[in-house]
Each structure stands twice: as C-alpha cells, then as structure tokens.
C-alpha cells in the first residue's frame, strides 16, 4: 500500500495519479486507440463551481463481442494529486461508471445522453453520501434515454467484465458498469429488490451477452 512519503517521491503536484491509473487500465484493453474525451458538459469543473460532478468521460469504439460504444467516467474516484489521500482503502467513492451501448438509430453521433445519466447518478451520490456497488438496482421511472421508444427503463450495476477492479495510488477503484434492463425486469426486481435477485439477473443476461452491452431495442 502506498504511503504519503512514497507518494511524494513518485508524483508531483502537476500529476494526476488517479486519472493515470484509469488510463493505464484502459490501455490494457484498447492499446493506443484514442478515446473521444468529453470534458464537463456544463463547461466548468465541479470543484470550480460547475454542476457536473463528473470531470469528463471517454468514449471508445469497441468491436469486442460486437460493435458498441464503451463509456467511462472520470470523477467518482480521486483523480488529482493529494498526498493526504495516498494509500486509502478506497479512492474517493471507490468506483467509476462505465456503460456499453449498442448503436441506436436516434444517436447520430456519440450518445452524450449517457454521460448525462452518469452525471445525474453522480449528483445523487455527492448530495446523499450514498454510493453504488455491484448488484445494485435503479428503476429509471421511464426510458433511460428520454423521449425514446424503448423498453429499457432501469439499470443494474455489474463489475465491468473487461476493466474490473484496480488498486490506484489513492486506494481501490471498481469500474461499475451500468446495464440497462427492460420494464419487465424492472417490475420483477421491484417485487424482490435483493442483491441475490440482481445477481441472478446479471448471470442470466451474461449467457447471451457476456460484456453486458445495453441495447435500447431489446424487448
């Protein structure tokens, strides 16, 4: 485990050790492929008074399993130099959001709405002090993509099948993947919203969809 002294020897105040740890993990999957990175949608970082808790999100085009967009957040974990956070048990909230999305006819370019979803969930975490973990369940109370004819109306959280969990200089970080679920699945989980029930659903989804790619056309 890293201690403050080792941290100060390894990094300077200009470094972003947490950000680099995320990039290093992504490089294992995508090599030198360049992501399309989107800064805070409101234009101002949260620490500077912006309304978006996420400091940005990267979108990769992935051909693993079948073509989809893989979105990764930056900001739920400790990104920047902070020797007081060195070697913590968890890096800030201990996770970053990820989301895998099959192409959808109404998304002419990158699905920026998905980054908005991450920001909305992040605002809940920052304001309530409650965080998300694997096998959590969230009904969206409507289509996850607003004003869209889709039966995907909720999410479950799974550990991203490729990115998993890493140790950063600030502590543990899990890549928590948002997995869209249908209205029928939402209603079933509402009757039994236990970790075991969510785990079982994720296991069943993985049989035909090991990377847990969300398809807004799924019925």
Per-residue pLDDT of the chain (219 residues; tens, 9 = 90+): 788 999 999 999 999 999 999 999 999 999 999 999 999 877 777 777 778 889 999 999 999 999 999 999 999 999 999 999 999 999 999 999 999 999 999 998 899 999 999 999 999 999 999 999 999 999 999 999 999 999 999 999 999 999 999 999 999 999 999 999 999 999 999 999 999 999 999 999 999 999 999 999 999
Predicted local distance difference test score (pLDDT) of residue 51 = 81
Q: Are 99 and 132 in contact (CB under 8 A)?
A: no
For the CA atoms of 179, 24, 130, 152, what is the dihedral angle to 10 degrees? -10
Predicted local distance difference test score (pLDDT) of residue 212 = 98
Q: Which residues contact 102 (CB under 8 A, 6 or more apart)?
A: 66, 67, 68, 213, 214, 215, 216, 217
User: Rounded distance, CA 172 to CA 127, Å?
Assistant: 22
Q: Are 206 and 184 in contact (CB under 8 A)?
A: no
State the pTM of this model.
Answer: 0.94
């Amino acid at each position: 485990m890293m201690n403050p002294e080792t941290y100060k020897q390894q990094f300077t105040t200009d470094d972003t050790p947490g950000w680099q740890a995320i990039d290093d993990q992504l490089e294992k999957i995508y090599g030198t492929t360049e992501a399309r990175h989107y800064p805070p949608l409101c234009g101002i970082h949260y620490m500077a008074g912006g309304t978006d808790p996420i400091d940005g999100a990267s979108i990769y085009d992935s051909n693993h399993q079948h073509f989809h967009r893989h979105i990764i957040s930056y900001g739920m974990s400790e990104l920047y130099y902070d020797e007081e956070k060195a070697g913590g048990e968890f890096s800030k909230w201990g996770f970053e959001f990820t989301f895998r999305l099959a192409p959808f006819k109404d998304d002419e370019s990158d699905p920026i709405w998905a980054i908005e979803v991450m920001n909305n969930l992040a605002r809940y975490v920052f304001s309530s002090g409650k965080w998300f973990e694997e096998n959590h369940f969230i009904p969206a109370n409507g289509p996850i993509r607003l004003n869209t004819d889709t039966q995907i109306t909720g999410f479950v959280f799974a550990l991203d099948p490729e990115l998993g969990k890493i140790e950063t200089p600030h502590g543990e970080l899990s890549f928590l993947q948002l997995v869209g679920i249908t209205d029928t699945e939402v209603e079933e989980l509402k009757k039994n919203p236990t970790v075991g029930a969510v785990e079982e659903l994720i296991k069943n989804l993985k049989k035909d969809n090991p990377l847990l790619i969300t398809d807004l056309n799924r019925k």
